[in-house]
Structure 1
């Protein structure tokens, strides 16, 4: 039987979840970048609207500039929970080497360092064990994500961009 320490398997799965969340965040930052041009100016849309300016006549129009970012929802995603199920056959206990056999911390050695060097026991797993029709290495992963409110930074940026939108020119037909 090939033996994989249970702790190593759990650490690898936890690392995969952390990496998945990091990739979600990177994708969201890249998506945010789509709302800015190559000079980091906000992309905007210009809308022609009937003028509401004082003294406007029929047919007068205002050009209204609106940055795109405040016009779209900015909900972010994060991993809510993960459920990982797998079939494995338990193996024998495995013991790591002890750093100090006498069990006492040496002078100048922190208690934390001493504890990390203590003899550790773990159980070996055979993740390649066959279980009937399930096949080799059967793993079931359930990953749920949830929408979260935008971060404070994104909310402030969106709010600032919202304040910059507005009428920038009024014109009359034929001008």
Structure 2
């Protein structure tokens, strides 16, 4: 009888832990998920999402000319401060209907800094940013800075302040793909 109740408690703890683990930075990476499905309930559309990461590698040839390429991140990868990573978010509309008003929210991973103006998106996506953990989004985040003379000025937010990127896509046609890339740098 004791074994059954301990096993039951273990199952309940696992069920309660899985949603929590996916939200804890560092622990979430232990759960290898390469795609997700987003649904638009009103039109019954279905978008399959995939997020991939690449590391920028800069090489120099014998003549001193530098070249840049992107290497996919797979398995156990070591990144160092200053390394630049490029994330590619792909959404494929698998349904026979267009999906309207798709919103994708990408948090900037902890330990990373968003590379300003690095977003490149298809399908007329409107790109906005958050500097408050996803509470609010604007196209050009600003912060208030107190100057030495006591005056307060509004200035563009520094890259380190960015916490989320939001893409709002007006429409994704049936059986088509949308794509967005953005870069971050390891602190």
| TM-score (ref. length: structure 1) | 0.22
As a proportion of its length, which structure holds more strand?
A: 2
TM-score (norm 2): 0.21
Structure showing greater relative contact order (alpha-carbon pairs closer than 8 Å, 6 or more residues apart): 1
Structure holding more helix per residue: 1
